[in-house]
Amino acid sequence: MNKPSRDDCAPYYQKYIDELPAGNILEILGQQLSETLKVFNALDEQRARYRYAPGKWSCKELLGHLIDSERVFVYRATCFARNDSGPLPGMDENLWVAHAGFDARDLAGLIDEYEHGRRTSIAFFKGLDDETASRRGVASNCEFTAGSFPFIIAGHERHHLDVIRERYLNA
């Protein structure tokens, strides 16, 4: 899959995609899986509930947000790849995190859920050929290609890993 062009996804996500290194997106997703597991496996339960400021998400909530977001992005890619062009609804990540109860969950369980989800995502995207990846649909009132989503997932996660390193692990 080639890096999406500016008209292959909502402009909001382009900033995430632009920050990705060159290379095979499936390999990038696999490397990121290892990197993210290393970050979260290094936390204990207390550190995983840390918030760097009032009203900010904890590390557990950030991980839960990554899990939820990837699930939504893969669902959108699946719909568009199967020629169901939507429109699909958006997601309110703040509402979702507020009602998910991530801090009450076991960190190891969240890590396991993340790992399984990422492996499933990679397997799905591996099965897309160029024609299928180029199919379009509408989500959150914007047009996307099915093939833009692995790049969005990787760029979105890279952004949040940078935030975790900067504001949570260095605190």
Task: Kindly report each contact of residues 118-121 with a partner whose C-beta sits within 8 Å and lies 24 or more positions away, as own/partner.
Answer: 118/29, 118/32, 118/33, 118/36, 118/70, 119/33, 120/74, 121/29, 121/70, 121/74, 121/150, 121/153
> Is-contact 144 9, C-beta < 8 A?
yes
pLDDT tens digits along 111-168: 999 999 999 999 999 999 999 999 999 999 999 999 999 999 999 999 999 999 999 9
Measure the CA–CA gap between 15 and 20, rounded to whole angstroms: 9
- What are the structural domain ranges in the chain? 6-169
pLDDT in tens, 46-90: 999 999 999 999 999 999 999 999 999 999 999 999 999 989 999
At residue 1, the pLDDT reads: 84
Q: What whole-number distance in Å separates Cα of residue 84 and Cα of residue 75? A: 11
Report pTM: 0.95
pLDDT at 109: 98
Q: Provide long-range contacts, Cβ within 8 A and 24+ apart, for 27-35.
A: 28/154, 29/118, 29/121, 29/122, 29/125, 29/150, 29/153, 29/154, 30/122, 32/118, 32/154, 32/157, 32/158, 32/161, 33/115, 33/118, 33/119, 33/122, 35/161
Q: Which of 70, 79, 82, 73 is CA-nearest to residue 131?
A: 82
Q: For residue 171, what pLDDT is reported?
A: 61
Distance, CA of 159 to CA of 142 (rounded, Å): 21
CATH architecture under which domain 6-169 falls: Up-down Bundle (1.20)
Model pLDDT, residue 106: 96
Q: Taking residues 36-50, what's their average pLDDT?
A: 96
Confidence of residue 2 (pLDDT cuts 50, 70, 90): confident
